[in-house]
Amino acid sequence: MFRDDFVWGVASSSYQIEGSDPEDGMGKNVWDTFMEKGKMKDKGDAKVSCDHIHHYKEDYRLMNNLGIKAYRFSLSWARIIPNGVGEVNQKGIQLYRDMILEMKKNGITPYITLYHWELPQALEDCGGWLNEEIIEWFAEYARVVVENFGDLCDYFITINEPQCFVGIGYMQGAHAPGKTLPMKDIFQIAHNVLRAHGRAVINMRKYAGKKIYVGYAPTCGVAYPISDRPEDVEAARKVYFGFYQPDENWTWNVSWFSDPVFLGHYPEEGMKKYAEYLPKITQEDMDLIYQPLDFMGQNIYNGYYIQAGKDGNPEYANRPIGFPITASKWPITPECLYYGCKFIYERYHLPIFITENGLSCADNVALDGQVHDTNRIEFLDLYISQLQRAVDEGVDVRGYFLWTFCDNFEWEKGYTERFGIVWVDFQTQERIAKDSAYWYQKMMETNGANLSINHHPRTLLFFEPKLIKRVWGGNRLKKEWGFEGELEDHIGECWVVSSNEQVDCVVNRGFYKGKKLSELWNEEPDLFDHMEGDEFPLLVKLIDAKEDLSLQVHPDDAYAGLNENGSGKRECWYVLDCPEDATLAIGNKAQSLEEFSRLVSEGAWDQLINEVPIKKGDFIQIEPGTLHAIKAGFMLLEIQQNSDITYRIYDYDRVCEDTPRELNIEKGLQVMKVPNLITEEDIFHPVNTKNVIQRLIMTDHYQIWSLEVAAPLVLQNEWPFLIVSVVEGDGLVDGTQVSRGNHFIIPNGYKTCKIQGSMKLVITAPVI
């Protein structure tokens, strides 16, 4: 989990939430002009937005009620100094002071951002960020800010996301001020922005009147490796700080906007690549930019795959088809928070605040009057879990600010995107805390104890089946049941839920994908209610007998523990298919061990073997000490103790790899039950009752039910876990489509499971 003094908060920007008032004395900024030109996606404007300037007391009370202790917000330069320079608007100063006092009254620590893209229009008319005078304009604004709010605030951030307003605002023209300037001008603007930052830091420290903490908040998509191979990680690091972007998108660069601020120089690679566009850069400039900072902000939303090519050079890797995205079509890439923080900290060695992270969802108010934004909760859980992963590995992350508190004006997209954990009705200004707000409250209260990284989710566990070659096997498991594998013939078994030396099944979907069952048993014991034992206790397999299997017997736990250093083996068969008028060899006709031994030595199998009539759908329990054999033409579902200790009594003189198969008659006689005459009354015949769970088998190690699903039902799980085998038909299990041949575990704590369709299930639980 996170450290006790970790800062949890929310973030916003002034223009996106505040709104306006004809009497507030605020000046015009570049976004006002941009909107007047009809550049918004929904033709809206920000004149009201969340009307925060009239609702801030209500909003801060709501923050308080939701447990929010820190708030990163920006000031409007034009609200404080309407023309950008000159006369200060005292109404603006008083409004912000009142806001900050109200925050503190509600136990909220303010984090002030000076510039979040809202350049006063009067300064843009004078050349804006292209005019080198803006370095002093911004420094004077910084002085006014700390002189008026330094007594109330300790934390200040100079500039937010220069990559965005420089690249999107001045090069691409999609943001205010909507210009498409030549490359040389863009590099001059970027240089001016960084010099303005440095000059502002100097003024803030000079005029604050006390010790303050100052940072800077750039952004960028994160290059992260497609795998954890060292070569892929190094390739991603190289791209993240390198210059692989096309020229028309060059501002989406980490090192150009961070190296000067945190290392005191521009990156050499960029200086060479863009030499023809660069302004004059002096050592005096670099000394100005390279001011001591207390922390670095990072706005991180998503990333992109990088891999090492065959020649060792980095390559962009495509995301799989159907890769998850947000409502704003941004990819969902939780690993970006881990690798972004890891790479940044390794390079710059300053404490990090995640100053923005979040997503837009297609939220709506449900019929119950609430907003159920499950997607946002899952997004935040995955991302913040990756942030904890970085912290756990020693990355110095001090805080996290969720973007954003209230749904608001999303720049050129207007009101078509909702990023907030609080719903805003833009017609009535009603606020509704979304489900994610309550989840975030709990996460903050516990410092992340409720994150999946600390408390892994309960999910259905589906496994990759494994085909096993047997001398007596057929190929129906592949041809009729559709199991895939390299084997073509003699496919006697398919192990579907197993954790032992022969087969350790691997989860093939969901949160635990790639994990072996043995790993889950050892690393995630809560999934199995912390059952005792060194290994998963049960084993489930499908058996296709093209020929008769050997006559065999299994020991009980006591004998196996004493003589085999293992456990005994009891098993249950469910008959999936068999010939008409079929029989199975179960039990024996001998009256004593002496008679049993004599009949074996004489090969008098007809006098020894006990045949029991069997039909499709029967359940047969095989207890330790019971002579038994599966016969040709049978297909079975076998549920057993996780043991493979078997003593063969007779094997039809079969040869495997030019060697007769080993017999174990002496050991078999030591564990054999005699007399042991099994009759048809010992066979379990399920009653054909639909949607009713029938318990058929109860042993010291497992119990087994049969369920024929014909209508929707809810399966209750009160056991350490349940193994479910779909033996006929198909349907849905909690939204996942299943069909014949699917097997899965319902883990401990997964209390209810919604099932519908037309199918037969065999359900197994361990006995504790």
* Alpha-carbon span 663 to 647, nearest angstrom: 7
DSSP line for 622-663: E-TT--EE--TT-EEEEEEES----EEEE-TT-EETTEEPP-
Residue 663 carries which side chain, given as an amino acid letter?
A: L
Rg over alpha carbons for the chain, rounded to the nearest Å, is 35
Strand, helix or coil at 541?
strand
Tokens of 607: 């006098």
Q: Which residue among 18, 118, 161, 335 is the active-site one?
A: 161
Q: 177 preceded by cis ω (within 30°)?
A: yes
Rounded Cα distance, 66 and 597, in Å: 78
CA 213 to chain centre: 34
CA distance 371 to 299: 26
Kindly name the residue from 356, 412, 417, 493 that is annotated as catalytic: 356
Query: What is d(CA 390, CA 400) in angstroms, rounded to the nearest whole number?
Result: 13
Q: Are strands 655-656 and 571-577 parallel, antiparallel or unpaired?
A: unpaired
Tell me, yes or no, if 356 is annotated catalytic: yes
Q: Which two tokens stand for residue 740?
A: 């014949």
What does the alpha-carbon distance between residue 124 and residue 122 come to, in Å, rounded to a whole number? Answer: 6
| Whole-angstrom distance, CA of residue 382 vs CA of residue 761 | 33
Residue 403 three-state SS: strand
**Nearby residues of 633 by Cβ (< 8 Å), 6 or more positions away:** 545, 577, 578, 579, 582
The secondary structure of residue 325, as a DSSP letter, is B
Whether 136 is a known active-site residue: answer no
Show Cβ contacts of residue 209 under 8 Å, excluding neighbours closer than 6 positions. Answer: 146, 147, 150, 151
For residue 364, the number of C-alpha atoms closer than 13 Å in the C-beta half-sphere is 4
Question: Is the Cα dihedral 721, 725, 729, 731 positive or negative?
Answer: positive
Show which residues are catalytic. 161, 356
